[in-house]
Structure 1
């Protein structure tokens, strides 16, 4: 796309297979030398042709819950090192939302129970339900309205923005039990003081994408009435020992009846 749009030089990092496919498409054409694949770690590579800066960064950087299995840190690094002042990042904005559902198929995993010092004996295995999964939720499962947790703009984002804790309010759409919350994102473009332009969404009301929703289960579901506001807090924390992974915290507080 960038080559066809008239770019003087296009450099690709990461996916060699896709890059080779693009390169073959331009073999024997006047644009053959425009596209080039750069192999290596992003922190160690050198741009070809003596280039020091780029005008545009294009990346499929968004992961599950925005930051899980994401290229967020890599794009921030590229922005700081190579992007010209006023340059573009496509897409640059991710909006992280939360909404509530009553239930969803919940997997179980084997957990090894080790003997305690006060009760010596053999360890044993038990099956326990998982606390979260990455899956797809249908719009018919929704029992609350959505709530915007966080907006991330890669043009201004800081490397530590993937760790946060924020309050939320979920308004009930009907009388039901709240058994889990769902995290999803809207991805798009927005220039300074400009209007957000949606490119795609991982939400339950949109077609499925390669990025799934994150479902956080509650061990003790709570009753929610139509128009009731359920107040809580959700946190997401980067795990430095596991690249591109995060930990979650989730709690519910009080609830009130809102005006219809």
Structure 2
């Protein structure tokens, strides 16, 4: 029987599941007063007050009088790092996790890939070419600003993906430090599998839960947009311990995060797309994420700034 800490417990569902699974004690920490109060009532209503202690406050401010065996948290935001809740989890880890204790999730990997999405562009932008037969194309610049200035959280499929995804950031929750999360920069190099308009880049993530002795290579299915063979992700653990938000799995509430260009770039098959992506904590608020993508398509250089609010 183990002692568990749930960081940012929200409704308390994870804390309750841990108690039902046999945890000796569960500390459920929630910063928002009204939510913490309601969660305490849920714990009481389910006769778990002898196991779960709800603590209202920031993880940086509360006090726990013992070390814990397990830290669990649903800290992942859009584009993995949005809202920056992982910093609070790291703080909890460094203060209360026993040596050799378990972090859940234990690992997270953020991916990116170039995408095409003609339907989305047609609906948002080219719609203004003829509105009930009236030429309203003068509104297209404003429509682009409205639709594509910031990241879009939506669901795509692997039919939209133009190249093998690449890793932007791999986070080991046992050892990641706060400073390394404040700015993440990674170079990328893609080759388009088909001739298609490049509308932007998509980001998604996987998280793993605990060690498993059985490595497995997950294969993405062949996209119907092209005939390229399936591609392998990084070597993975037991798939029953993997939560993925990739375009080829059942949608989650995270969906995928899309950074769209104001104007698509026409690509040839096998055309090289290379550049650098930087994800930075916003200087005014560390909970917000600034995105910069500098990329080149066949000698044409571009920069796209976006801000996840």
Taking structure 2 as the reference length, the TM-score comes to: 0.68
Is the CA contact 2:70–2:97 (under 8 Å) kept in the aligned structure 1?
yes
Q: Is the 8 A contact 2:271 2:297 kept in 1?
A: no
Map 1:31-110; keep pairs closer than 5 Å: 32-47=49-64, 51-103=65-117, 104-105=120-121
CA contact (8 A) 1:23 1:36 kept: no
Partners of 1:187 and 1:84 in 2: how far apart?
A: 22
Greater helix proportion: 2
Q: 1:224 aligns with which of 249, 267, 274?
A: 267
The 8 Å contact of residues 55 and 87 in structure 1, kept in 2 or not, is answered as yes
Deviation at 1:191, TM superposition (A): 4.1
Q: Which residue of 1 aligns with 2:27?
A: 11
Change (3 A) 1:194 1:56: farther
For residue 19 of structure 2, give the secondary structure of its aligned residue in structure 1: coil
TM-score (norm 1): 0.79
CA distance in 2, matches of 1:191, 1:161: 23
2:261 is paired with a residue whose SS is strand
1:1-260 alignment runs, 5 A limit: 1-14=17-30, 15-16=35-36, 17-18=38-39, 20-25=41-46, 27=47, 32-47=49-64, 51-103=65-117, 104-105=120-121, 127=142, 128-129=145-146, 130-131=148-149, 132-162=151-181, 163-191=183-211, 195=215, 196-197=236-237, 198-253=241-296
CA distance in 2, matches of 1:249, 1:92: 28
Q: Secondary structure at the match of 1:80?
A: helix
- Mapped contact 2:279–2:291 kept (Cα < 8 A): yes
* Native 8 Å contact 1:91 1:188 kept in 2: yes
RMSD, aligned CA: 2.6
**Aligned equivalents of 1:36 and 1:176: distance in 2?**
55
Q: Compute the displacement of 1:21 (Å).
A: 2.5
Unpaired segments ≥5 residues, structure 1:
109-125
Structure 1 residues 2 and 229: alpha-carbon distance in aligned structure 2, compared to 1, 3 A threshold: same
Given that 1:96 and 1:183 are in contact with CA atoms closer than 8 Å, whether structure 2 keeps it comes out as yes
Deviations 1:93-150 (A, max 9, x none): 1110001112335869xxxxxxxxxxxxxxxxx8334332222222322222211111
Assess if the C-alpha contact under 8 Å between 1:64 and 1:70 holds in 2.
no
Flag the 1:173–1:22 CA change in 2: closer, same or farther, 3 A.
Answer: farther
Aligned residues: 232
| Distance in structure 2 (CA, Å) of the matches to 1:71 and 1:32 | 26
Structure richer in strand, relative to its length: 1
